[in-house]
Structure 1
C-alpha cells in the first residue's frame, strides 16, 4: 500500500514538474530565436523577487489567485467548468463595495456584511448557470461565458454617475464611493518599506483548509466527487445529481465572490473602472496546474504571482515584461500535454504491476503444486 501511495505521489508531481520544465524550455527557445539572452530574464526576475516589498506583492497576489483557483476547483471536482469566475467576482466586488460605502454599520459588522454580500452575489450569478444546466441542459461553459459578458455590461451600467457611481473631482475614473476606514480589513504590516500583507490573504488560506476538509473528509464532499465521476452511479446510490450540480455551482460562485475582497478591503477600498480584471481566467490555469489539490493550488498561485510581479522589472533591462505572459500561456498548453503523458504512463505502469503480480502468483502456485507432489 505504501508503495502504491508513493507511486501516486510521484505521478501527481510529475505532471506539474514536466509542464514547468517544458514551459521554461520553450520560453527560452523563443528568446533565443528572437536574438535575446535565454537565461538573463530569469535571473532578473529572481533578483527582483529577492526584495521584501516585491515578496509582499507576490504573497498578496497569490492570495487573490488562490481564491479564484479554489472557486474553479470546486466546479472541477464536480466535473463542471465554471468559466464565469471573472464575471462573478467583479459583479460581487462592485455590489459589495456599494453596500460597504453606503450602509451605516460599525466596522466589524460592515466588514461581515461586505463579505456576505459578495458571497451571495457571486453565488446567485453562478446559480443562473446551475439552474440552466439542471433545468434545460445548457452547458455551463456556454452560459458562464455569456454571463461574464452580461456581468461586465451590468457593472459598467451600475457604476455610471446617474446610477450608483461617483466621479471624483478632477478625475475621469468612476467609483462606488469609499468604504470608511473603520471597515478596512486589518493586515500584517512589515514596515514602511516592505508594505502590508492583506489580512484577507489569511482568510484565503482558511478557505483552502475548509475546501480540503469539506471535499475530502465529509459525506457531502464524497457525494459531490462521486457525482462528478459518474452521475448515473451517484443516482443509483441515492444521490440527487441535479441538486449536487446546482449546489456545486452555488458554492463555486460564493467562493468566486471572495476573489475581489483582498483588493477591495485591503487596498483600494472602493470599486472603480480600473479594478483588477482577468483573475478568474488565471484561476483556471492555477487550478489545472495544482490539480485541484489545495497545496498544489497554493504553490501554483505563488508561481503565477511570482511571474506577474517579478516580471515588472524586465522592461528596465531591455526585456519585454510580456515574457511572463508567454510563459503563462505555455504553462497552460504544457499542463494539458504533460498530464496526458503522465496519465498514459501511469496506466502502463499499473498494467505492468498487475502483470508482475499475476506472474508472481502463478509461479507461487506452481511451486506449491510441485511441493504437494
Structure 2
C-alpha cells in the first residue's frame, strides 16, 4: 500500500517538474539560437530574484496570481472552464472600490464591507454564466468569454467622471474615490537598503483561501459531490447528486474567489480603482498556474511563485542586453509542456495500473492452482 501511495506521489510531481524542465530546455535553445548565452540569462534571473526588494514584489504578485488560480481550479474540479475570471475580478474590484470610497467606517467594518462587496459582485457575475448553463445549456466557455467583454465595457462606462470616476490632482487617469485610511489592510514591513517595503498582508487571506479550498474539496460532503460530478456526471446523478445545482454552486464559488483577486492591490497599495492598476489578463494567467499546480492548493502556490518570478525577472534581462520576452516565452512553453506532460504521465500511470492489476490476477491464479494441487 505504501509503495502504491509513493508511486502516486511521484506521478503527481512528475508532470509539473517535467513541464518546467522541458520549458527551460526549449527556452535555452531559443536563447542560444539568438546568439546569446542561456546560462547567463538564467543566472541573471536568479541573481535578480535574490534581492530583497525583488522578493517582496514576487510575493505580492504571487498573492494575486494564487487567488486567480484557485478561482479557476474550483471550476476545473467540477469540469468547468471558467474563462471569465478576468472580467469577474476587474468588475468586482471596481465596484468594491466605489462602495468603499463612498463610505467611512471603522477599520474592520470598512474592510469587511469592501471584501463582501467584491465577493458578491464576482459571484453574481460568474453566476450569470452558471444560470445560462444550467437553465439554457449555454457553454460556460462561450458565456464567460462574452461576459469578460461586457465587464470591460461596463467598467469603461462607469468610470466616466460623470459617474464613478474622479480625476486625482496631478494625474491624468480616472480612478474611483480614494479609500479612507480605515480601509488600509496592514502589510508586512520589510527593510530594503534603508527603505521600507511591504509584503501584502492579504497574503494571509490567500493562504486561508487555499486551506479552505482544500478542506472544502476533501473534507466535506459538498466537496465530494463536486468532485464526483466533475469526474462523471452520469455516475453522480445515479448516486443522487443534483449536478445542475453543483454547476451553479461551483460557478458562484469560483466567481466569489475571483472577486478577491484585486483586493491585495486595492487594500494594500492603490486604495482606489484605476485601469492601469488592475490590468486584464490576470485571470488567464490563473488558468496556466492552475494547470501547472494540478488544481492542488500547494501546487498552485509553487506555480504562482514561479510565474511571479518570471514576470519580475524579465526587466532585468532587458537591462542586461537580453530580450525580456524570454520570460514570456518560458511561460508559454510551460503551458504547452504542462498539457503534454500531463498526458504522458496519465498514460504511464494507466499502464502501471494495468500492470499491477495483471500481476495481482496472476498471483491469485497461482494461489488457486497451489490450493487445488494441495
TM-score, length-scaled by structure 2: 0.97
Report SS of the residue matched to 2:343: helix
Name the residue aligned to 1:279: 282
Q: Is the 8 A contact 1:123 1:250 kept in 2?
A: yes
Post-superposition CA distance 1:220-273 (Å, at most 9, x none): 100111111122221221211111100000000000000000000001111112
Question: Does structure 1 residue 212 correspond to structure 2 residue 199?
Answer: no
Partner deviation per Cα, 1:317-363 (whole Å, 9 max, x = no partner): 00122111100000010000000000001111111111122222222
- Partner in structure 2 of residue 349 of structure 1: 352
Q: Separation in 2 of the partners of 1:359 and 1:223? A: 36
CA distance in 2, matches of 1:21, 1:249: 34
Residues 124-143 of structure 1: matches in 2 within 5 Å?
124-143=124-143
SS at match of 1:195: strand
Which of 218, 222, 225 is 2:224 aligned to?
A: 222
1:123 and 2:126 matched: no
Q: Does residue 196 of structure 1 match 2:198?
A: yes
- Taking the aligned partners of 1:273 and 1:315, their CA distance within structure 2 comes to 25
Q: Distance in 2 between the 1:294 and 1:145 partners? A: 25
Tell me which residue corresponds to 2:109: 109
Q: TM-score, normalised to structure 1's length?
A: 0.97
**1:303 aligned partner:** 306
In the alignment, is the contact (CA less than 8 A) between 2:104 and 2:180 conserved in 1? Answer: no
| Cα distance in 1 for residues equivalent to 2:104 and 2:181 | 13
Q: 2:291 aligns with which of 280, 288, 292?
A: 288
Q: 1:238 aligns with which of 234, 237, 240?
A: 240
Report the equivalent of 1:315: 318
- 2-structure distance, mates of 1:240, 1:155: 35
Between 1:232-241 and 1:141-150, the stretch displaced more is 232-241
CA contact (8 A) 2:70 2:210 kept: yes
The answer as to whether partners of 2:97 and 2:273 remain within 8 angstroms in 1 is: yes
Partners of 1:203 and 1:312 lie apart in 2 by 29
- Aligned equivalents of 1:316 and 1:104: distance in 2? 44
Pairing 1:1-373 to 2, within 5 Å after superposition: 1-191=1-191, 193=195, 195-277=197-279, 278-370=281-373, 372=374
Q: Is the 8 A contact 1:49 1:310 kept in 2?
A: yes
Return 16-25 or 311-320, whichever deviates more.
Answer: 311-320
SS of 1:270 mapped into structure 2: coil
Aligned residues: 371
Name segments (4+ residues, structure 1) moved above 4 Å.
Answer: none
Alignment partner of 2:195: what SS?
coil
Q: Distance in 1 between matches of 2:25 and 2:130?
A: 40
In 1, distance between residues paired with 2:178 and 2:237?
49
Cα distance between partner residues in 1 of 2:135 and 2:157? 29
Distance 1:139 1:100 in 2: 34
Cα distance in 2 between the residues matched to 1:45 and 1:177: 38
Shift of 1:194: 5.5
